[in-house]
Structure 1
């Protein structure tokens, strides 16, 4: 009888380990807020370029596979002036390639919410930070900001850095240079923060689709080893 009980305990332990391993396999590695600038400097055609470019970036094989492997959570936020930030697509977990495709398809269908308002980057960061409370905790939390201008209303983006760092949230950016201003330098100094934070520059809206694809590749495959990354063109 003692031998049978011992055997059953080993079976129970083995089942417990299997359940634990399965839970770890399903754990979220990445929560990603896609925060898109829709301020007055972004016309409907430029907005469409952003949305279609973002959708195609999500469909990129490297990005889609990394999102599924990470069991990532995604949400899409449109933002402009101080009182205008809104979740266009609620948090969804990328458990399968079909889930990634469904999210990408929704991105292509989202209408432009506002026109002719200011640029409140700090307010967009504040709104995006609060949104992480709506999902289970993930190992990495990232806000992906796209913008074509410096902040000119509301909270300074730098004023949000302490709160973001306290929650271990990384802010990366795609900067759309359109008028000769050193917007890339501004985002490096004032907007991005957190471990490994970076800025990627698009030279005009036409360059945005390629830049956002490369940016998402770099964000989503960070869990790979440096050797693995060396085989990817993420410049």
Structure 2
């Protein structure tokens, strides 16, 4: 099941989360093999951040600041304490083309203000970079084996993927998504829609629909669409709060099998082929 949800501000959501946190039934613990120890963290969270050239330098900087500030916020730390273990495991990487991914934060456990500060400072110290093309499929393929490298085990495994355009490089997005879902991984999305679509940037209308129908998936999966530059950081914080608290936005739940994609899941590849013929 997945949740369709889009916001231009996360204020109402943040207020709602502060009334109570904890793991909800939508996420549910993964079935562990008998030989595996009990989960030591509440969630294994991979943050996959788009740094393609369609993102301008200001957006890249605000995106970095948004994640860093969210991780040290009192709301985030309160949600963290509400979990069964009171800690999460997190890794953060940047991506563009199918062969271009760079880990900024290797796996780290966040269990309170000190570890949160350390992760946030590490995010902000890394120089901003950019890359060509947009391969959401490449980012998901890169993220999947990272869970096997994580020394901590969680109740849930989540890929948190942000971007401002559709997949236009690497394998098609839908089979890669299905591969991740088959491994029990949940994919949530943060489509960035603060600019009007333009020819050079390969932006599309209704990027949030594309993310809802082609990118996200798994129990309780959701999209938070950023449609206003002024609420960029707030939306990032709202999404992280939902993920850490193991909750989904209150919205109509639509089984994937009951609908056809409203935006073609190969629209990015088609646009690229039409413009550059390769």
Tell me the distance in 2 between the aligned counterparts of 1:157 and 1:81. 13
- 1:114 corresponds to 2:130: yes
Deviation string, structure 1 residues 172-212 (Cα, Å, up to 9, x no partner):
01111122511000000110011111000111443310111
Q: Are the equivalent residues in 1 in contact too, given 2:137–2:177 (CA < 8 A)?
A: no
| Aligned position for 1:179 | 196
How far has the Cα of 1:74 moved from its partner?
A: 0.6
Rg larger in 1 or in 2?
1
* Aligned pairs for 1:72-83 within 5 A: 72-83=88-99
TM-score, with length taken from structure 1: 0.80
Give 1:223 shift: 6.6
Distance 1:121 1:157 in 2: 7
* C-alpha RMSD of matched pairs (Å): 2.0
Please identify which structure carries the higher helix content.
Answer: 1
Ranges of 4+ aligned residues in structure 1 off by more than 3 Å: 67-70
Which position in structure 2 is the counterpart of 1:29? 42
Match of 2:110 in 1: 94
Sort the Cα spacing of 1:71 and 1:79 in 2 relative to 1 into closer, same or farther, 3 A. same
Equivalent residues of 1:50, 1:205 under 8 A apart: no
SS where residue 202 of structure 1 aligns? coil
Q: 1:1-235 counterparts in 2 under 5 A?
A: 27-67=40-80, 69=83, 70-115=86-131, 117-135=132-150, 136-177=152-193, 178-180=195-197, 181-222=205-246
What count of residue pairs does the alignment treat as equivalent? Answer: 201
SS of match in other structure, 1:86: strand
CA distance, structure 2, for counterparts of residue 65 and residue 85 of structure 1: 31
Q: Which protein, 1 or 2, shows the higher relative CO under an 8 Å CA cutoff with sep ≥ 6?
A: 2
Long gaps (5+) in structure 2: 1-36, 198-204, 251-278
TM-score (norm 2): 0.68
